């Protein structure tokens, strides 16, 4: 007996579906440009060689859906400056700790120099750290799309309920639909080498929280098919098939190909919790995409005692990107990792120069792992 996940990798079914896709592609008569928004899909496409399987049929344009990759240098600099303070314990998720800041140093580097930087698997671990270290200020550097925001909301709520006074959060939670809209509104990003993005593979995990409802606007207003998909090869191929079918018929609709987890309205309980604790920022800087209005969340006034950006004063100089790193272009989808002169030589996962080489969901790291030999 095979598990459901094994079934979604079944070679025979993969080849059969890819044949169906190729036949449909012949009828369309051109390569279809699909942006997979989520880094998890980029990883799956590279890992299973789906881009090779569908060469000439589909051009995958890797989107900005990797929370570590889109974190701008200035936010990394902020985390590093806070971490260097004597009375601070800085906590965040593993990958974030490896992203270099302006001075080519990461949180892990400043830890090696004596700062108290801790990797957490769950943001709720920071609650325990705060209780165990009452004389320290524990800061959680919160990152992520809609998938992780509810957990940060729970953390702040619990801290308030338990009267914790030494726990603070830097909220970097970002919003998927705002980024998609930005891409669709920006011709420089949307037209990749004068080729329009035809459709989107929508993120699976994010959509569990937000549902399929927000994507209908893109399908209707911009006439772009959106198919929500899981992360196994057959999930991705089925999404491609459903997109090509729509393009062939001249339609632009939202299809949910991840019905085992995603509903139309999403997780309302999580959405309400997030709305209780967070509100929209007027604007937020994304690496590669620039400033996007209403694309991130800040902690509400009622909980501002936990908002590290309100409690701590930090003055930061202008951030300095590595001059040869083209991460921004990779995130915008206008360059491939292999276009970067530093790819795989100076910049590797063990010595990342840009954020896209840090996380396994980053396009540079995915290319390095699965495409180095090509
Ligand atoms: Fe930046 Fe490294 Fe990617 Fe080049 S390979 S774009 S230096 S992260």
Strands 88-92 and 116-119, sheet pairing? parallel
Ligand 1 center–CA 53 separation, angstroms: 25
Distance in angstroms (rounded) separating the CA atoms of residues 79 and 170: 8
Question: Best of 66, 345, 353 to mutate for ligand 1, by most ligand atoms within 8 A of CB?
Answer: 353
The pTM score is 0.91
Cβ of 356 less than 6 Å from ligand 1: yes
Ligand 1 center–CA 99 separation, angstroms: 12
Cβ of 366 less than 6 Å from ligand 1: no
Question: Best of 98, 345, 347, 369 to mutate for ligand 1, by most ligand atoms within 8 A of CB?
Answer: 347
Q: For 206-211, what is the mean pLDDT?
A: 96
Ligand 1 center–CA 345 separation, angstroms: 10
CATH architecture label of 73-176+266-311: 3-Layer(aba) Sandwich (3.40)
Summary mean pLDDT of the chain: 92
Ligand 1 center–CA 344 separation, angstroms: 9
- Evaluate whether 189 touches 286 at the Cβ level (below 8 Å): no
Identify the CATH class of 33-67+185-257.
alpha beta
Which stretch of 20-24, 186-190, 294-298 has the lowest confidence by average pLDDT?
A: 186-190
- Evaluate whether 112 touches 83 at the Cβ level (below 8 Å): no
Tokens 């012949």: give the residue: 26
ipTM (interface predicted TM) = 0.99
pLDDT at 259: 93
Note the pLDDT tens digit of each residue in 262-309.
Answer: 999 999 999 999 999 999 999 999 998 899 999 999 999 999 999 999
Cβ of 337 less than 6 Å from ligand 1: yes
**What ligand 1 atom has the least distance to the C-alpha of 327?**
6
Which stretch of 117-131, 135-149, 175-189 has the lowest confidence by average pLDDT?
A: 175-189
**What ligand 1 atom has the least distance to the C-alpha of 340?**
4
pLDDT at 186: 79
Give which of 205, 186, 197, 188 is closest to 65, Cα–Cα.
205
Cβ of 342 less than 6 Å from ligand 1: yes
Q: For 204-222, what is the mean pLDDT?
A: 95
pLDDT at 6: 63
Tokens 């019905």: give the residue: 259
Residues forming CATH 3.40.50.11740 domain(s) in the chain = 73-176+266-311
Cβ of 343 less than 6 Å from ligand 1: yes
Give which of 285, 231, 297, 219 is closest to 258, Cα–Cα.
231
Distance in angstroms (rounded) separating the CA atoms of residues 354 and 347: 8
């Amino acid at each position: 007996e095979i598990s459901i996940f094994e079934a979604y990798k079944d070679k025979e079914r993969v080849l059969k579906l890819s044949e169906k896709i190729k036949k449909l592609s012949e009828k369309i008569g051109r390569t279809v440009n699909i942006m997979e928004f989520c880094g998890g899909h980029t990883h799956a496409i590279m890992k299973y060689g789906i881009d090779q399987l569908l060469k000439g049929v589909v051009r995958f344009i890797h989107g900005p859906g990797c929370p570590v990759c889109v974190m701008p240098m200035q936010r990394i600099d902020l985390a590093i400056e806070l971490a260097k303070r004597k009375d601070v314990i800085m906590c965040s998720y593993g990958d974030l700790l490896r992203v270099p800041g302006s001075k080519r140093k990461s949180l892990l580097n400043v830890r090696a120099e004596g700062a108290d930087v801790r990797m957490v698997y769950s943001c709720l671990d920071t609650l325990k750290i705060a209780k165990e270290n009452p004389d320290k200020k524990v800061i959680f550097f919160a990152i992520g799309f809609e998938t992780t925001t509810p957990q940060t909301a729970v953390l702040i709520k619990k801290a308030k309920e338990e009267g914790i006074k030494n726990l603070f959060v830097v909220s970097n939670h970002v919003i998927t639909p705002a980024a998609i809209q930005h891409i669709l509104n920006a011709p420089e990003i949307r037209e990749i080498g004068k080729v329009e993005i035809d459709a989107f593979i929508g993120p699976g995990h994010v959509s569990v929280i937000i549902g399929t409802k927000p994507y209908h606007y893109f399908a209707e207003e911009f006439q772009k098919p959106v198919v929500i998909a899981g992360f196994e090869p057959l999930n991705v191929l089925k999404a491609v098939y459903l997109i090509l079918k729509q393009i062939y018929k001249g339609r632009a609709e939202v299809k949910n190909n991840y019905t085992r987890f995603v509903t139309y309205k999403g997780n309302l309980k999580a959405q309400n919790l997030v709305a209780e604790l967070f509100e929209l920022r007027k604007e937020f800087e994304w690496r590669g995409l620039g400033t996007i209005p209403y694309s991130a969340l800040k902690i509400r006034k009622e909980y501002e005692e936990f908002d590290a950006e309100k409690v701590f004063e930090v003055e930061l100089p202008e951030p300095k990107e590595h001059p040869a790193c083209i991460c921004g272009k990779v995130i915008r989808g206008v360059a491939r990792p292999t276009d970067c002169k530093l790819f795989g030589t100076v910049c590797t996962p063990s010595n990342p120069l840009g954020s896209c080489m840090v996380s396994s969901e980053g396009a540079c790291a995915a290319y390095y792992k699965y495409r180095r030999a090509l």
